[in-house]
């Protein structure tokens, strides 16, 4: 059939595909997901794209239902033609992709590092000629291939790469949601009639045509298949058989009739082809020989148009494959899989061989189960966690020994959890716990249930489960028990306000009673310090925490230990007012997470570093980190962490619309609804915004709500109290302001750092009078001036200047307000800067607004790329850090050069530094 006939009625779809090809040929990337029911013409549209992409290289892949559990299978299909370019990738990407594809041995790669490698590989392949990637039946891709292609699709920009994925509805994968979509709808009656006429020989009775068109409901494959069930007499005017089956069922029945009409050997050969999804003709031939099938058996299926055997085996439609397989008796399927296992080379393709053996097994078989377990290990080594879970799940089913079955089921549940399949993980865990597990296995099951609950439900719901697991692990594995207590305390911090029945004190008391873990001792010191702060009061725990933090800061930290303990240590450095250690540990954590590709850790690490840089007055740097966090959140699904980071920045910049938008997005996020931290964080942000804008009544209401729960283990309570003092003092509530300042002073004295004591002095000054107030403002400025907490220093100057103006000391006020205005303006704290400007004007100064910063013309990602390029990083190095291709880095840099008016990378740093200098002008009145 001609392509024109197949694409009858598809003008809009063809134009969209033509546009995609033109975009790619013009030098930009493009992505499109074709959605539609079975037989609607998605494959024909992919073929149209292939035929219309003149001058482009074509890469193809297709998902196969029986291949869904083989890690990176679909991705390997797509990338195989370009693997000769693997040596051109940066070493970490080259090793990750090589390990994923089984080309070399290595540690299990992070799937996002694999995604970056695929992005770089496709971008490199498009250098010579534009590249069009066509993926059919994407709903049947193995999970990690689907995730990787979705990652690549979201990162494509300035490459000459087009990606078109066809997905059968209603199976749109969640990974593909949010990508550009095109629904392939049903044909109109006119186009349906024309298509039917073009493929039906002889005269077609009008009434029969109308019935076929009505039954086909605009589905092209149905129009081609339904007439095959009618005799020539019926087509010429006989009465058709009424058929009330659903459309998909009618198409399948048509294929089923055609399969059943074939000779027995042909049906068996078709079954072999359906069970062997690679399309390997040699393997098909070898398996057929083992089953005593003659080569001529293929002819009837080829003549019927159900299959084509050339360099590869291809079915007319995926429904033919599924019907050929499902229609066969179980005994025949087992015979075929046994033959395919025997024909598959155990050295070059052991995993597919193991999968065939599993499908051939009529009952429990320890030998096959053990082979599947080895396949799971190989899949795990390649980073195919979902594939490992599938192998382990099948291995558990085939394990005859009840205890071993439970152990393998527990391993399968763990793999499902790591792959993000939380519901399936719970089911496997439930099944495993029915087996006679030993004490250690049951403790591991408790821990896994807690971790799944933390990830899938909420931190608060996970707390009792983690606590139970930790207690059970104490006599079995002290180190793992301590890590579990750490996870429980982290969950308490993440939850904020704990749900009813959960008590932070319970966790803390159990932590203190637990036996010590293995070296290094700093881990135990940190845990015990946090626990004592919870049970005996903040002041009791701070010395131990600080001792542990000193050890973390000065000592080396191995990768695994760092990824587990640095998030906890960095969080606690903030909570004990140790700004320098907080800076050092959060910076180290972000670097470690980037280096290792630990994207499960990186979003929360970036959130901590954003808060740190905001308080340091580096709001531009914080903005770049927020952009990075948003990128990571997009590809990992941890968007709420990026939103928290964005909220911290938005509140301090004083942009009301942005702050409210981010707050609303956080409160709507179903992943974190019900967590106490949601209310605490959003109310703190509203309080900062209100104080910055001078709307103190609003700030007071928000700060009170943010500070309602002093027992929270996180640091947002303290930050809310800082806002509460200022808002209460300015809204006519001096007693409440004094009470809050007193509580903060107790915590600050326990912390004992200049940051703590300087902040306390700033708060106490606001509730003091006369010389006492002035002395405390001066102490605040002196202490905060010795730290890197520049936002607090600028704010102390602003408050002091406002107090001096109210005392009618205009000259003194101008000095403090001028310094505050310069600092706040330079750092981008717009609301507080405007407040300082208004106060300066009230002293008699005429203040012109700061001239626009050239950097403001840059987007967040452009600014980040500019800074990294200015630091000397190459385009591939920048791309690796930001998860974009070097082509996209170069495209952004061209825009940076144009906006900054420069022509060289060497000019970037100087230009950014120059534009960062404040441009202020004062005209003093008499």
For 699-746, the three-class secondary structure string (H helix, E strand, C coil) is HHHHHHHHCCCCCCCCCHHHHHHHHHHHHHHHCCCHHHHHHHHHHHHH
Describe the chain by its helix, strand, coil percentages, rounded to 5.
70, 5, 25
Bond before 170 cis per omega within 30 degrees: yes
Q: What's the pLDDT score for residue 239?
A: 40
User: Per-residue b/e over 588-617, b at no fewer than 16 CB within 10 Å?
Assistant: bbbebbbebbbbbbbbbbbbbbbbbbbbbb
9: alpha, beta or left? (left if phi > 0; alpha if psi -120 to 50): left
Cα separation, 728 vs 763, in Å, equals 11
Cα separation, 532 vs 448, in Å, equals 27
Q: What's the pLDDT score for residue 491?
A: 78
- Exposed/middle/buried for residue 920 (C-beta within 10 Å: 0-12, 13-18, 19+): middle
Q: What's the pLDDT score for residue 494?
A: 65
The number of residues in the chain equals: 926
Q: Which residues of the chain have pLDDT under 70?
A: 1-6, 66-69, 171-173, 201-205, 207-208, 211, 215, 226-250, 318, 383-384, 419-420, 455, 457-458, 494-503, 596-600, 634-638, 671-676, 710-715, 848-856, 914-926
Segment 83-87 long-range contacts (CB within 8 Å, at least 24 positions apart): 85/121, 85/124, 85/125, 86/121
Q: What's the pLDDT score for residue 349?
A: 86
CA distances from 720 to 479, 542, 680, 749 (A): 36, 20, 8, 18
Short-list 226, 182, 195, CA closest to 208: 226
Place of tokens 């007499």: 233
In three-state secondary structure terms, 327 is coil
Q: What's the pLDDT score for residue 919?
A: 46
């Amino acid at each position: 059939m001609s392509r024109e006939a197949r694409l009858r009625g598809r003008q809009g779809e063809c134009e969209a595909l033509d546009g995609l090809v033109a975009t790619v040929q013009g030098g930009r990337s493009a992505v499109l997901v074709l959605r539609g029911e079975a037989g609607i013409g998605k494959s024909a549209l992919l073929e149209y794209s292939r035929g219309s992409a003149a001058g482009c290289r074509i890469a193809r892949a297709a998902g196969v239902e029986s291949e869904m559990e083989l890690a990176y299978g679909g991705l390997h299909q797509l990338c195989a033609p370009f693997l000769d370019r693997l040596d051109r990738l940066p070493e970490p990407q080259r090793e990750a992709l090589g390990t994923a594809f089984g080309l070399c041995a290595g540690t299990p790669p992070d799937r996002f590092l694999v995604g970056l490698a695929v992005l770089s590989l496709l971008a490199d392949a498009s250098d010579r000629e534009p590249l069009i990637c066509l993926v059919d039946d994407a709903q049947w891709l193995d999970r990690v291939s689907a995730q990787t292609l979705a990652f690549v699709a979201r990162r494509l920009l300035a490459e000459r790469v087009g990606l078109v994925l066809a997905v059968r509805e209603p199976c749109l994968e969640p990974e593909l949601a949010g990508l550009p979509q095109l629904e392939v709808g049903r044909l109109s009656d006119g186009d349906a009639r024309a298509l039917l006429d073009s493929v039906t020989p002889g005269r077609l009775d009008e009434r029969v045509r109308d019935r076929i068109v009505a039954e086909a409901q605009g589905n092209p494959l149905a129009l081609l298949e339904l007439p095959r069930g009618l005799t020539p007499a019926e087509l010429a005017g006989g009465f058709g058989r009424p058929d009330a089956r659903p459309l998909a069922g009618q198409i399948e029945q048509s294929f089923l009739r055609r399969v059943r009409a074939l000779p027995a050997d042909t049906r068996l050969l078709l079954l072999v082809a359906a069970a062997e999804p690679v399309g390997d003709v040699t393997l098909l031939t070898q398996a057929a020989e083992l089953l005593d099938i003659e080569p001529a058996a293929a002819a009837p299926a080829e003549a019927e148009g159900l299959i084509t055997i050339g360099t590869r085996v291809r079915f007319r439609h995926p429904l033919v494959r599924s019907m050929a397989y499902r229609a066969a008796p179980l005994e025949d399927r087992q015979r075929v899989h046994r033959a395919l296992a025997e024909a598959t080379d155990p050295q070059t393709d052991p995993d597919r061989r193991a999968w065939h053996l599993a499908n051939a097994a009529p009952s429990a078989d320890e030998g096959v189960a053990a082979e599947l377990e080895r396949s799971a290990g190989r899949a795990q080594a390649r980073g195919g966690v979902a594939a490992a879970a599938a192998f382990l799940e099948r291995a558990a089913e085939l394990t005859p020994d009840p205890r071993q079955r439970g152990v393998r089921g527990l391993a399968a549940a763990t793999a499902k959890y790591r792959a993000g399949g939380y519901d399936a993980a719970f089911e496997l865990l439930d099944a495993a716990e029915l087996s006679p597990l030993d004490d250690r296995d049951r403790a591991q099951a408790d821990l896994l249930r807690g971790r799944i609950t933390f990830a899938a439900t909420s931190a608060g719901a996970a707390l009792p489960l983690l606590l139970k697991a930790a207690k059970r692990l104490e006599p079995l594995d002290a180190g793992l028990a301590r890590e579990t207590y750490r996870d429980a305390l982290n969950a308490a911090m993440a939850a904020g306000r704990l749900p009813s029945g959960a008590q932070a004190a319970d966790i803390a008391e159990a932590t203190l009673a637990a036996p010590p873990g293995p070296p290094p001792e700093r881990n135990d010191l940190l845990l015990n310090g946090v626990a004592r702060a919870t049970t005996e009061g903040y002041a009791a725990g701070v010395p131990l925490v600080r001792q542990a933090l000193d050890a973390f800061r000065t000592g080396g930290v191995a990768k695994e230990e760092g990824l587990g303990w640095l998030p906890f240590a960095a969080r606690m450095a903030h909570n004990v007012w140790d700004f320098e250690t907080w800076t050092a540990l959060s910076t180290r954590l972000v670097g470690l997470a980037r280096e290792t590709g630990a994207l499960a850790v990186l979003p929360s690490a970036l959130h901590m570093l954003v808060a740190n840089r905001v308080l340091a007055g580096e709001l531009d740097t914080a903005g770049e980190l927020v952009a990075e966090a948003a990128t990571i959140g997009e590809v990992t699904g941890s968007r709420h962490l990026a939103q928290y980071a964005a909220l911290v920045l938005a509140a301090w910049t004083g942009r009301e619309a942005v702050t409210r938008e981010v707050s609303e997005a956080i409160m709507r996020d179903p992943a974190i609804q019900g967590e106490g931290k949601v209310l605490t964080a959003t109310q703190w942000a509203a309080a900062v915004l209100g104080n910055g804008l001078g709307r103190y009544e609003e700030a007071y209401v928000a700060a009170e709500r943010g500070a309602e729960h002093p027992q929270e283990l996180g640091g947002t309570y303290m930050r809310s109290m800082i806002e509460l003092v200022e808002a209460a003092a300015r809204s006519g509530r001096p007693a409440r302001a004094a009470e809050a300042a007193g509580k903060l002073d107790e915590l600050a004295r326990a912390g004992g750092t200049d940051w703590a004591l300087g902040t306390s002095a700033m708060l106490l000054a606001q509730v003091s009078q006369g010389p006492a107030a002035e002395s405390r403002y001066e102490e605040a400025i002196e202490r905060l001036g010795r730290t890197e907490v520049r936002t607090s220093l600028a704010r102390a100057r602003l408050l002091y200047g406002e107090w001096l103006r109210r005392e009618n000391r205009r000259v003194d006020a101008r000095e403090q307000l001028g310094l505050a205005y310069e600092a706040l303006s330079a750092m981008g704290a717009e609301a507080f800067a405007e407040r300082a400007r208004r106060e300066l004007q009230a002293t008699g100064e005429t203040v012109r607004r700061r001239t626009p910063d050239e950097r403001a013309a840059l987007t967040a990602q452009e600014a980040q790329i500019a800074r990294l390029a200015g630091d000397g990083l190459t385009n591939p190095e920048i791309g690796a850090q930001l998860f974009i291709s070097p082509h996209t880095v170069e495209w952004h840099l061209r825009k940076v050069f144009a906006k900054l008016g420069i022509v060289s990378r060497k000019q970037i740093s100087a230009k950014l530094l120059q534009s960062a200098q404040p441009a202020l002008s004062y005209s003093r009145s008499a």
